[in-house]
Amino acid sequence: MFEALPTQTPDTPLLDQVKSPADLRAFSDRQLVQLAKEVRAWLLWSVSQTGGHFGAGLGVVELTIALHAALQTPEDRLIWDVGHQAYPHKILTGRKDALLSIRQKDGCAAFPKRDESVYDAFGVGHSSTSISAALGMAIAARAQGKKRRSVAVIGDGALTAGMAFEALTHAGHVQADMLVVLNDNEMSISENVGGLATYLSRLLVSEPFHQLREGSRKVLSHLPLAWELARKTEEQVKSLVSPGTLFEELGFNYVGPVDGHDLPELVSILRKLRHHTGPQFLHVITKKGKGFLPAEADPIGYHALTKLEKPAPTQVPVSKGPKYSNIFGQWLCDMAAADERLMGITPAMREGSDLVRFSERYPKRYFDVAIAEQHAVTLAAGMACEGLKPVVAIYSTFLQRAYDQLIHDVAVQKLDVLFAIDRAGLVGEDGPTHHGSLDVSFLRCVPEMLIMAPADEQECRQLLTTGYLYPGPAAVRYPRGCGPGVTVTDTLEPLPIGKAELRREGEGILVLALGSRVSVAAEAAEALNATLVNLRFVKPLDESLILELAAQHQLVVTVEENALAGGVGAAVLECLAAAGLTRPVLNLGLPDVFVDQGDHEQLLADHGLDGPGILASIQTRWNALIKGE
C-alpha cells in the first residue's frame, strides 16, 4: 500500500537507510543502538504533528528493532497485541513517511492492518488476541511443513484478559513452536532486572543448557520419578530469581526478566530463542514513554497525544461544555451519594469513561477489572443477584467482547444491571475496530433489554437515571465528545419509559431521529417544515406516537448513527409493517460496510449523516415522491 523508501547513501542517518527490516540484520550492535535513537526521535516528531498513541511506542523501540533484527520477517509472523505499541514497527517496515498521515482519512492506520503491509501479520484494535492468533499461525506452519516462527508481543495489561490465558494453556498443551514476548512496563518486579537475572536469562537460552535440558528430558522420561525431581529442582531455582513458574506450569520455557532497553542483549537472546522448539516465553521489562521525560513520569496521561497546534493570535478559545463521558462521571457520583447500593465497574477504562472522581470518592464501590470485559459483565450479574445496583461503564466496541455474558448472565436472568455505553457511533481516527456502530443492532434483538439514546447532555443524565431505576437490564448509549450544549441540572429524575419527544410539528414529512442525530436532523426538519421526533427509546419504541404521526404524513424518515442493518430504522419498519400501515420510508444511517478511519465530522458527511447530507437525502426522496417516481 505504501511505497518503499528510496535508496540512501552511507552518510545519511541510519533510519533513512532502512528500506525493510532485512537491512537491520546487517547492522552492528552499535548501529542498532544509534538506530533506536533515530526511531525514537522520529516517533516523537511525527506524533507531535499528527497526534496518536505515544507512550507505548516509545517504550518498545529497542524491542521492535531487536525483533526485526533477530527474526526473518515477514516470513516469520510478528503479531502485535492491541497495536498501540506498533508505531516503531510501522516506521521500520516502509511506513516511516506514511506515519505523518496516521489516523487520517486514507492514511496510515492506527493499528496493524493486514491489507496495509505484508509485515502486519494480524490486524488488531482490541487487546489480548495476539497469543491466540500466533498459536493458530504456528499450528498452520506445522501442518504445512514450514519452518517459519510465530511471535506474539503482548503487554502486561493485555495479559490480564482471560482470552490470553486460554491461548497460553492451549499452546502449552499442543507444544507449538512459538514465542510469546511479554512487554512488561509495570514497576512491581523491575528490581529483578539485574546481574543475576541477566545471567540466568543468558543461561536459559544458551545452546549447552538447551541441549542438556532436552537430553535430560529424553533420558529421564523413562524414569518418571527422576524426571519429576529434576523438573521441580529447575523450577525452584528459577523461582528464586524470576516470576516465571506460572508460565512453566502452562508448558512454556520461561526466560527473563530481561532489560527491554538493552538492545544488544535482546538481539542475542531472540536469535537463540528463534531456534528453540516448543512454546517459549520471554519476559521483557520496559519503561512506557522511554526517552521522553514527561511521558515517563505520566504514562497514563501520555498514552496518546493530541496534535500539537499553536492557536492563531486572534483565536479565542471556545468552551464546548462537558463531554458525554463527563456527564456520566458526575451522574455516577451523584447517584452513588443517593443510593449506597450502586457499584461502578469498568474494564480498564477509568480515565476514558471518566470514573476518576468516583474511584476517589467511593474506592470500596469502584471495581476496575482490567482488560476483562466478559468478567466485568458477569461480575455485575453476581452483584445484582445479591441486591446491589451495578453500573458497567464500557465502550460500545468493547461491549461486543462480552455479548454472551450480556445475554446469558444478565438478560436471561432479568438482572438489574445498567450498561453505560460510551463511544456509541463513529469515533473517528481509530477506525473500524473502535467505531461503536453496531450496538443498537446487537442489543435490540436481546429480550428484556431497555435501550436508550440521549439527544443532549441533560437527557443523558435523565436516561441514565431511567435505566438505573429500571428493574432489569438497561443500556444508555452516548457518543464520544460533546453534545449540542444543553445546560445540565443536578436532577436525578427519570423520564417515562418508552415515550418519545415530539420536538417539532410540520407537514408531509415525519423525521424520527435517535441520539446524536436529533439536533442535526432538526436543521433539516426546520428547512423542510417537517415534523421531528426525538425517539429517545430504541426498545421499547413509542409505537403509539409513531403510528399516529406516520398516518398523518406522506414520508417517514429515520436517522441514526448506527448500522442500518438491525438499527432503529429497521425497528420502525417492523412497527409499521405489524400495524399494516404502508408508507414510503427513508432510512438514514451507516451502510453495511466497516467504516474506515478519519475525522468524525468528515466521516458523517461522507455517509450523509451531517446536516447538509440529511437535508439533501430527504429533499431528493421528497421531490421524487411528489413527482410520483
Over residues 531-550, the pLDDT tens digits come to: 999 999 999 999 999 999 99
Distance (Å, whole) CA 240 – CA 620: 74
pLDDT for res 354:
93
Digit-coded pLDDT (tens) for 363-372: 999 999 888 8
Distance (Å, whole) CA 494 – CA 458: 11
Residue type at position 359? S
Handedness of CA 425, 428, 430, 433 (dihedral sign): positive
Q: In Å, what is the CA distance from 56 to each residue of 101, 114, 297?
A: 19, 21, 13
Angle at alpha carbon of residue 52, lines to 48 and 55, rounded to 5°: 85
pLDDT classification of 244: cutoffs 50, 70, 90:
confident
Task: Give the residue, 315 or 114, on which the prediction is more confident.
Answer: 114
Task: Give the residue, 568 or 428, on which the prediction is more confident.
Answer: 568
Digit-coded pLDDT (tens) for 606-618: 999 999 999 999 9
Task: Give the residue, 470 or 295, on which the prediction is more confident.
Answer: 470
C-alpha cell at 573: 419498519
From the centroid of its chain, how far is CA 548? 42
Q: Which of 27-31, 140-144, 236-240, 484-488 has the lowest mean pLDDT?
A: 236-240
Q: Choosing from 95, 288, 477, 517, which is the catalytic residue? A: 288
pLDDT for res 107:
80
Cis peptide before 10 (omega within 30 of 0): no
Q: What is the DSSP letter of 365?
A: G
pLDDT for res 360:
96
Digit-coded pLDDT (tens) for 187-228: 333 333 444 345 445 545 556 655 555 555 555 555 566 556
| Strand ranges inside 242-354, DSSP E | 253-259, 279-285, 304-305, 342-346
According to DSSP, the residues that pair with 346 across neighbouring strands are: 368
Q: In Å, what is the CA distance from 183 to each residue of 7, 21, 152, 349, 368?
A: 33, 20, 10, 20, 21
Residues 51-70, mean pLDDT to the nearest whole number: 84
What pTM value is reported for the model?
A: 0.80
401 is catalytic: yes
Task: Give the residue, 27 or 156, on which the prediction is more confident.
Answer: 27
288 is catalytic: yes
Antiparallel, parallel or unpaired: β 304-305 and 52-53: antiparallel
| Strand ranges inside 492-543, DSSP E | 501-504, 509-513, 531-534, 537-539
Digit-coded pLDDT (tens) for 593-607: 998 888 889 999 999
CB under 8 Å to 287, separation ≥6 — which residues?
59, 185, 260, 261, 296
Q: Choosing from 248, 265, 373, 560, which is the catalytic residue? A: 373
Residues 71-90, mean pLDDT to the nearest whole number: 90
pLDDT for res 2:
41
Q: Choosing from 90, 290, 389, 401, which is the catalytic residue? A: 401
Q: Hunting for cell 542483549 — which residue is that?
A: 265
Distance (Å, whole) CA 567 – CA 605: 19
Are 92 and 2 in contact by the 8 Å Cβ rule? The answer is: no
CB under 8 Å to 140, separation ≥6 — which residues?
146
Residue of 154, 84, 92, 137 whose CA lies nearest to 117: 92
pLDDT for res 102:
79
Task: Give the residue, 232 or 484, on which the prediction is more confident.
Answer: 484
